[in-house]
């Protein structure tokens, strides 16, 4: 039964790693490739390591596999984000059918920094009403501070 379960996890892991490799070939730009491959390869690697944990049933193997899975879960999204950001800031083109570019106009080429935009409230968010009352933490208007 253990062999069947570990084989199932290993096959699932191999499937997701294959999906990640197909994503590298089929996705049209860097950003979609990074999105597809980082998710699928992390899941595939984790499933393969779970298969090893089930098969060997040894404390040292289990702790190493769990540490590796934790490392992958923590570092892969950060690495994908940093590679995507470096690609964007170096001028890699977006796919022509990309709908929105949320960073457009926020990159200052002189300072080489991303500048934040002022948050715009969405129409669904209620706006606070101005009642003329002072904030309860502000000093009263008649007394000096």
In sequence order, what are the residues at sequence separation of 6 or more whose Cβ sits closer than 8 angstroms to the Cβ of residue 99?
none
Domain positions in the chain: 2-94
In percent, the amount of the chain with pLDDT more than 70 equals: 79
When mean pLDDT is compared over 31-35, 51-55, 93-97, the highest value belongs to 51-55
Tell me the average pLDDT across 38-60. Answer: 97
Residue with tokens 């253990």: 2
pTM for this prediction: 0.72
Pick the more confident residue, 106 or 9.
9
Contact yes or no for 53/66 (Cβ under 8 A): yes
How far is residue 134's CA from residue 141's CA, in Å, rounded to a whole number? 9
pLDDT, position 100: 83
Assigned fold of 2-94: Helix Hairpins (1.10.287)
What residue has token string 């999204």?
Answer: 77
Find out whether 17 and 52 touch, Cβ atoms under 8 Å: no
Percent of the chain with pLDDT over 90: 56
Across the range 117-130, mean pLDDT stands at: 58
């Amino acid at each position: 039964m253990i062999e069947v379960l570990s084989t199932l996890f290993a096959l699932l892991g191999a499937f997701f790693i294959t999906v990640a490799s197909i994503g590298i070939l089929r996705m049209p730009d860097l950003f979609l490739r990074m999105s597809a491959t980082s998710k699928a390869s992390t899941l595939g690697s984790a499933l393969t390591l779970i298969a090893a944990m089930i098969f060997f049933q040894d404390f040292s193997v289990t702790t190493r596999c769990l540490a590796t899975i934790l490392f992958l879960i923590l570092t892969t999204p950060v690495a994908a984000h940093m590679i995507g950001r470096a690609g964007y800031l170096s001028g890699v083109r977006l796919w022509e059918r990309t709908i929105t570019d949320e960073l457009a106009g926020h990159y200052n080429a002189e300072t080489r920094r991303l500048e934040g935009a002022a948050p715009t409230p969405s129409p669904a968010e209620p706006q606070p009403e101005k009642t003329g009352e002072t904030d309860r933490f502000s000093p009263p208007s008649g007394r000096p501070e």
